Chain A
């Protein structure tokens, strides 16, 4: 299950998300080094753990440290474009990390990317144009998604975790676990459907409340 980070000042759950988002906002607005240090102390071990947990490619300790450096450097550099009303800090940092991992994997096969007119940030671009309504919904969704994820049946949560944690395609998950591709796909889909239903239910409840 979730392992709520034992922090002294911050409660787990939504509260926690808000605190990190606020800190990240301060880094972006004022290059606040103190806030950045707090973010680092929290997220650096998570990023490293996330990468070491990635059995897809054998990330050694050094590679994981490098990714931490790269992700947190990008976090510092890109923080001015972070909009707390659009995404929680953990989600935003996740996308920075995802892009850094893709970039690192691509740089390992350099001969292919030398002449590429597009880069990782062109393909996984978080600044999509969306109206204010959608932005508001994003934040609310995020809170609900994170809560809902934890109540999924084991099998489905695991399938989703494999895909996210290990950065694996469905067929890679299938060949590693020995499950048929169709089973992997349907577990992922069912997990998402449950999340969807839970989110819709929560949204409905909020509207009625």
Chain B
């Protein structure tokens, strides 16, 4: 979890009377501030990808988000009214006419194409697409390029249409330990497959972690399965071990 008592409960505060049945146990969520920024549209694109992916996995946050959207609706209701141009409605009707090519058919066709394409793309990349959030599936390129960072860690950058954040898959091989590193900027990690642990706990699919700049950590994947994460970083991660990158191969084969 990131910083202090955020208004958001990390473990299912009784927000509503009878919502205790959640399919997966997710213990780490985006905090209230981040959800608000997401719901109001001011969260940067890169971070919004991670929040959106988490929402698709987490019913608890879906409900929070529904409330925050309702709050937006309430603000809209209370906005000061400004008269629109006299011809606004007739202009709208002609815009509707112009746009009335059956867009829906196109959309459906498009979605089906991408769904089929996704499976192919994922298979090629060695990823099980079944449980991936929709938005992550869409980000899968035809050719995912894995880059080996150490024996235990590889990463593949994703094209997301923005430059502020680096969005990437990280894969830690089973039992693998990642070299100690810190961040110049905020780093968000969403676990997608498998699990990993660090000094503070163990993280499973759906868990959403925020690391503040300067926090140092050494994730280790669980023994039974490779761990796939989506990561969103403000700035490239730098290695801080005494011997820098040279240390990686040795660290990665040390027992956890």
Given contacts A94-B69, A188-B36, A203-B17, contact A117 B7 (CB under 8 A): no
- Return the CB mask of B11-40 against A: 1 if under 8 Å, else 0: 001111111000000000000110011111
With A and B bound together, what is the CA distance between A189 and B49 in angstroms?
22
Most chain B beta carbons < 10 A, residue from A64, A90, A91: A91
A24 interface residue (CB < 8 Å to B): no
Determine if A94 and B75 form an interchain contact, defined as CB atoms under 8 angstroms apart: yes
Determine if A40 and B89 form an interchain contact, defined as CB atoms under 8 angstroms apart: yes
Given contacts A118-B49, A134-B59, A168-B42, contact A45 B76 (CB under 8 A): no
Point out the residues of chain B lying under 8 angstroms from A185, CB to CB. 33
Determine if A167 and B40 form an interchain contact, defined as CB atoms under 8 angstroms apart: yes
A11 interface residue (CB < 8 Å to B): no
Point out the residues of chain B lying under 8 angstroms from A115, CB to CB. 159, 161
User: Which residues of B37-81 have CB atoms within 8 Å of chain A's CB atoms?
Assistant: 37-45, 48-49, 52, 55-56, 59, 62-63, 66-67, 69-81
Q: Which of B133-141, B201-209, B222-230, B248-256 forms part of the interface with chain A?
A: B133-141
- Return the CB mask of A72-96 against B: 1 if under 8 Å, else 0: 1100110010000001101111110
With A and B bound together, what is the CA distance between A88 and B76 in angstroms?
12
Determine if B96 and A76 form an interchain contact, defined as CB atoms under 8 angstroms apart: yes
Cβ contact of B73, chosen from A118, A142, A200, cutoff 8 A: A142
Point out the residues of chain B lying under 8 angstroms from A37, CB to CB. 89
A5 interface residue (CB < 8 Å to B): yes
B243 interface residue (CB < 8 Å to A): no
Main DSSP-derived SS at the A contact region: helix
Given contacts A77-B99, A137-B19, contact A200 B138 (CB under 8 A): no
Residue of B with least CB distance to A100: B41
Point out the residues of chain B lying under 8 angstroms from A129, CB to CB. 56
B242 interface residue (CB < 8 Å to A): no
B116 interface residue (CB < 8 Å to A): no
With A and B bound together, what is the CA distance between A86 and B69 in angstroms?
12
- Nearest-neighbour CB distance to chain A for B21, whole angstroms, equals 9
With A and B bound together, what is the CA distance between A117 and B32 in angstroms?
28
- Nearest-neighbour CB distance to chain A for B83, whole angstroms, equals 6
Determine if A48 and B69 form an interchain contact, defined as CB atoms under 8 angstroms apart: no
B82 interface residue (CB < 8 Å to A): yes
With A and B bound together, what is the CA distance between A192 and B160 in angstroms?
31
Determine if B82 and A49 form an interchain contact, defined as CB atoms under 8 angstroms apart: yes
B238 interface residue (CB < 8 Å to A): no
Point out the residues of chain A lying under 8 angstroms from B56, CB to CB. 125, 128-129
Given contacts A118-B138, A118-B161, A124-B52, contact A169 B76 (CB under 8 A): no
- Nearest-neighbour CB distance to chain B for A188, whole angstroms, equals 6
Determine if B41 and A90 form an interchain contact, defined as CB atoms under 8 angstroms apart: no
Determine if A116 and B161 form an interchain contact, defined as CB atoms under 8 angstroms apart: yes
Determine if A116 and B159 form an interchain contact, defined as CB atoms under 8 angstroms apart: yes
Residue of B with least CB distance to A46: B79
Determine if B72 and A125 form an interchain contact, defined as CB atoms under 8 angstroms apart: no
Determine if B77 and A164 form an interchain contact, defined as CB atoms under 8 angstroms apart: no
A30 interface residue (CB < 8 Å to B): no
Determine if B85 and A65 form an interchain contact, defined as CB atoms under 8 angstroms apart: yes
A141 interface residue (CB < 8 Å to B): yes
Apart from A91-B69, A94-B76, A167-B41, list 10 A-B contacts with CB within 8 A.
A92-B73, A112-B161, A128-B62, A133-B19, A137-B19, A138-B66, A141-B63, A165-B75, A196-B15, A200-B14
Instruction: Please list the residues of chain B having a beta carbon within 8 angstroms of any beta carbon in chain A.
Output: 6-7, 13-19, 32-33, 36-45, 48-49, 52, 55-56, 59, 62-63, 66-67, 69-85, 88-89, 91-92, 95-96, 99, 103-104, 134-135, 138-139, 141, 159-163
Instruction: Please list the residues of chain A having a beta carbon within 8 angstroms of any beta carbon in chain B.
Output: 2-3, 5, 16, 37, 40-41, 43-50, 52-53, 64-65, 68-69, 72-73, 76-77, 80, 87-88, 90-95, 97-99, 101-102, 106, 112-118, 122-126, 128-130, 133-134, 137-138, 141-142, 145-146, 149, 160-161, 163-165, 167-170, 172, 185, 188-190, 192-193, 195-196, 199-200, 203-204, 207
Q: Which 5 A-B pairs have the closest CB atoms?
A: A116-B161, A91-B73, A90-B73, A189-B7, A45-B81
